[in-house]
Structure formats: structure tokens, C-alpha cells
């Protein structure tokens, strides 16, 4: 549990374990704490790097609008601070968008890439969903914000099976969303995604990339997710059935297996098979 300054602002990060480094990037409403259940598996044979973006968790909250490029450069500053030149990057949702822009700006810093529930752009559909989130935040009610944003994150299949967990989630998150500083941060984070579009640059991604989609993701529909695979030539795609946007919670064992398998497998081409 450590911190450093970037542009005069505090950035919180955590390092766990040793080995091939894995940098895991949060979704928009997540923090380093969101990955607690994954820390034992991810740090057993690897160096796990967790970080709170600006306006998340224990990193500083800002008082101005920004775009993803600020978070991208925050990651580069983090790697310089911990003296690591090259990492494997795992991003989900918001984190996958930042991960894509990171590998495009700093390709030599990325060995392998895992993108979960991501897209190459913020579509008009998602933009207007973000507007609804912001309007809910402006009402100042954590309850209104929770019920506007959280239910669509999960598949109906998961929601019904884990209803008790969802109710406990509401008890935890509604007071958090009630905080004015959190409401303002979430508005800035949402606004930072507006205008995001790297659709015409996907061909520039050269590192081995695993793209993981979910059939029941209503925030980023499958058609948006599959465009990543079509555009990134050195990529493989996995589609998880009966799963929504929060794939790491709905399918945690599969999520972990995909990440650790993709990153830790030693060979990339298995040419000996065809010798």
C-alpha cells in the first residue's frame, strides 16, 4: 500500500507478490479494494500491481474535467515510480479503454494485453447512458444513483441467483454514493469517457491481446466488443455466456483463469507443433 505524486496529486497503488508483473485497471466505479478476492491468486506467482485512477478509491479527487489521456499518463508515471519497464495489462470496462490507449501511446511498456467488457469507442448509446448516470448523481441521492447505474451492470441470470449479495451491495454502496465528493468524482469519470474513439487505430496494437466479451452485457453490447477482435490482428476472443458487464464478479474463477493463463503461458506461437 503506497502512494506517489503525479502532477502534484496523490496516486494510490498496491504491490503484491513477485514475478511476471500484472497491472490491473479498474472499471469506472471500482477501486483497488474491488480486487481483494483476486489478490491471493493473482499474486501467487506474479507481481500484482493495483492502482486507483484519479477520482477513484484512495487517489486524489480532482476539481477539473479531463479525458482518458490523464489516466494513461498516470500509469506511465506509476511504472517509472516503481521502476518497471514492461508489464502485462488487464483492463475491464473503463480500465480496458485506458489500457488500449496506454498500449497505443506506450507500446514498448506492454508485453500482453487482456481486455474485458471493453470497446474501441464510447458509442452514442453509451454516451447517453452516461448522461443518465450524471443526472442521477446531480440529484444528490445515493439511492437514486445506485438504482440507475448498478442493476444494468449485471446479467438478469446473475441478479436472480445472487439477489442476497445484490441487496448487501446496495447497503454498502448507497451510503458511498450519497457522498457529494463521490458524486462529483463519478460525473468527472463518466465525462472523461465521452468522445473516446480509437476504432481507426486498433491495427496499431501489436502485442498478444485477449478480448473477453459477455453475451448479456447491456452497457457494451457484443457488437461493440467484437469490433476489438476484428481490429486487433494479434488477438483471440472469448465470449462468456449468461454473463453481464461485471464479468469479474459474475464469473470470478473463469476471469482469473483467463487472465493468468494468457499472461503466464510461456510460448506464443507453438511452432514446434508444426515443425
The predicted-structure confidence for 161-203, as pLDDT tens digits, reads as follows: 999 999 999 999 999 999 999 999 999 999 999 999 999 999 9
What are the tens digits of pLDDT across the range 231-259?
A: 999 999 999 999 999 999 999 999 999 99
In a domain, 251, yes or no: yes
| pTM to 2 decimal places | 0.96
- The confidence score (pLDDT) of residue 226 equals 94
Residue given cell 441470470 in the structure block = 157
In a domain, 174, yes or no: no
Q: Which three cell numbers stand for residue 73?
A: 499518463
Distance (Å, whole) CA 270 – CA 264 = 14
Domain count within the chain: 1
* Structural domain span for residue 117: 2-122+196-266
Distance (Å, whole) CA 239 – CA 222 = 9
- DSSP H or E segment with residue 129: helix 124-138
Numbers of helices and strands, H then E, in the chain: 11, 8
Q: What is the CATH number of the domain that holds 201?
A: 3.40.50.1820
* Percent residues over pLDDT 70 in the chain: 100
Amino acid at each position: 500500500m503506497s502512494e506517489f505524486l503525479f502532477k502534484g496529486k496523490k496516486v494510490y497503488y498496491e504491490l503484491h507478490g513477485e514475478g511476471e508483473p500484472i497491472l490491473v485497471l479498474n472499471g469506472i466505479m471500482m477501486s483497488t479494494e474491488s480486487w481483494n478476492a483476486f489478490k491471493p491468486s493473482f499474486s501467487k506467482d506474479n507481481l500484482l500491481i493495483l492502482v486507483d485512477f484519479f477520482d477513484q478509491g484512495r487517489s486524489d479527487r480532482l476539481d477539473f474535467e479531463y479525458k482518458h489521456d490523464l489516466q494513461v499518463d498516470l500509469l506511465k508515471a506509476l511504472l517509472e515510480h516503481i521502476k518497471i519497464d514492461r508489464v502485462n495489462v488487464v483492463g475491464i470496462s473503463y480500465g480496458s479503454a485506458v489500457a488500449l490507449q496506454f498500449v497505443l501511446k506506450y507500446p514498448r511498456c506492454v508485453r500482453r494485453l487482456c481486455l474485458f467488457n471493453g470497446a474501441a469507442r464510447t458509442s452514442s448509446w453509451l454516451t447517453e447512458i452516461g448522461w443518465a448516470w450524471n443526472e442521477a448523481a446531480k440529484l444528490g441521492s445515493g439511492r437514486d444513483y445506485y438504482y440507475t447505474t448498478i442493476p444494468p451492470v449485471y446479467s438478469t441470470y446473475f441478479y436472480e441467483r445472487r439477489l442476497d449479495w445484490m441487496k448487501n451491495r446496495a447497503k454498502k454502496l448507497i451510503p458511498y454514493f450519497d457522498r457529494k465528493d463521490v458524486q462529483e468524482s463519478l460525473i468527472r469519470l463518466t465525462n472523461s469517457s465521452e468522445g473516446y474513439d480509437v476504432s481507426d487505430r486498433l491495427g496499431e496494437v501489436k502485442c498478444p491481446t485477449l478480448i473477453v466479451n459477455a453475451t448479456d452485457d447491456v452497457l457494451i453490447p457484443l457488437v461493440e466488443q467484437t469490433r476489438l477482435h476484428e481490429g486487433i490482428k494479434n488477438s483471440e476472443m472469448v465470449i462468456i455466456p449468461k454473463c453481464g458487464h461485471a464479468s469479474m464478479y459474475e464469473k470470478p474463477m473463469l476471469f482469473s483463469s483467463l487472465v493468468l493463463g494468457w499472461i503466464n503461458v510461456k510460448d506464443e506461437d507453438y511452432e514446434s507443433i508444426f515443425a
